[in-house]
Amino acid sequence: METSNINRLLKMDDASFERLSKYVTTEYGIKLPDVKKSMLESRLNKKVKSLSMNSYSQFLDHIFSEQGRQGDLFDVIDLITTNKTDFFREAAHFQFLTSTFLPSYSNQNLKIWSAGCSTGEEPYTLIMALEEYRKRNATLSYSLLASDISMRVIQSAYNGIYTMDKLTTIPLEMKKTYFLRSKVNPDITRIKPQYRNKINFKRINLMDNSFGISKVDLDIIFCRNVIIYFDKPTQEKVIRKFCTYLKPGGLLFLGHSESIMGMNLPLKQLQPTTYQLQ
């Protein structure tokens, strides 16, 4: 009887859903239409019960309280956000970067931002692509910032630990170069420390007016499959902010299902979902 009560899905009332979805959209830009209600219930159910809450109304009162905003609210945002990513996802972007853009780009001291880095596959893919490029072009140097709204995934990215099945898209020689396999568990691998240490990880909310980065300072921004969760006006607002952080001629990479069509932005499309600041 006790076990079934623990496993029972606590239903979210409409008022609580509206309150939570409005907050998430306002503060983080993420749209939560009515069809997401069951998803929220399943993701938050365990958290609600771990706090001995009997209703979502009581739960929201807690997480929005002064005490809740210091900790449990961050956990809730972690549970709500989606973190789907892979190494060399949308590989054409990395091919374009190293084969077309960098050979003709005048600045060889790159500053790059992976915005919405999730569990780290994107910034570590950038490390691998840039290090392979450096084998042929030794004058290139770079610094890499990786950010996300979720502290949980930032910690995971910082640790750089993955199961072997996550590495299927990486060529064998690159696996040997950039990863160390666990001696205790052969199914576990980790990015070598000299490459983990090349990345500065930071929590950044794309809804904030300032990102805490120097403006007109970045050469490349990757923000892929992040703004797809925003409505169109919010997408344009965020991309316009990105433009103020890019140097003229710098690149912005978006995800395969994201577009700036219909937006009035100082960007020129170079290839699908690859844009250059004018």
pLDDT confidence bin for 255, thresholds 50/70/90: very high
Domain boundary among 47, 80, 113: 80
210 lies in the same domain as 258? yes
233 lies in the same domain as 112? yes
Which residues lie below 8 Å from residue 237, measured CB to CB, with a gap of 6+? none
255 lies in the same domain as 201? yes
Structure tokens at 252: 């912005």
> What would the pLDDT profile of 48-80 be if each residue is shown by its tens digit?
888 888 889 999 999 889 888 877 888 888 787
Please tell me whether residue 185 adopts helix, strand or coil conformation: coil
Residue 48 within a domain: yes
105 lies in the same domain as 234? yes
Q: Report the percentage of the chain scoring pLDDT > 90.
A: 69
52 lies in the same domain as 106? no
Structure tokens at 88: 């060399």
Distance CA 89, CA 172 (A): 17
pLDDT surpassing 50 at residue 194: yes
Q: Determine how β-strand 141-148 pairs with β-strand 109-115.
A: parallel
Domain count, the chain: 2
145 lies in the same domain as 175? yes
Which residue range(s) make up the domain with 193? 92-277
pLDDT surpassing 60 at residue 5: no
Which string of b and e fits 123-151 if b means at least 16 CB within 10 Å? bbbbbbbbbbbeeeeeebebebbbbbbbe
Residue 147 within a domain: yes
| Interval 148-171 mean pLDDT | 94
111 lies in the same domain as 193? yes
Looking at residue 86, its amino acid is: D
Residue 38 within a domain: yes
Domain boundary among 54, 80, 106: 80
132 lies in the same domain as 208? yes
49 lies in the same domain as 153? no
Distance CA 240, CA 223 (A): 13
125 lies in the same domain as 206? yes
110 lies in the same domain as 182? yes
pLDDT surpassing 50 at residue 44: yes
Say which CATH number the domain at 177 has. 3.40.50.150
Say which CATH number the domain at 9 has. 1.10.155.10
Nearest to 220 by CA among 146, 157, 137: 146
Terminal CA-CA length for the chain: 65
75 lies in the same domain as 97? no
| Interval 29-50 mean pLDDT | 85
Complete edge-to-edge strand list for the sheet that includes strand 161-163: 161-163, 188-191, 179-181
pLDDT confidence bin for 82, thresholds 50/70/90: low
pLDDT given for residue 75 in this prediction: 80
pLDDT given for residue 1 in this prediction: 38
CB count within 10 Å of CB 158 equals 15
Residue 72 within a domain: yes
Nearest to 131 by CA among 110, 148, 116: 110
What residue spans of the chain are helical by DSSP H? Answer: 2-7, 14-28, 37-50, 56-63, 72-80, 92-96, 102-104, 121-134, 151-159, 172-178, 193-196, 232-245
- Residue 206's Cβ-count burial label (10 Å; 0-12, 13-18, 19+) is buried
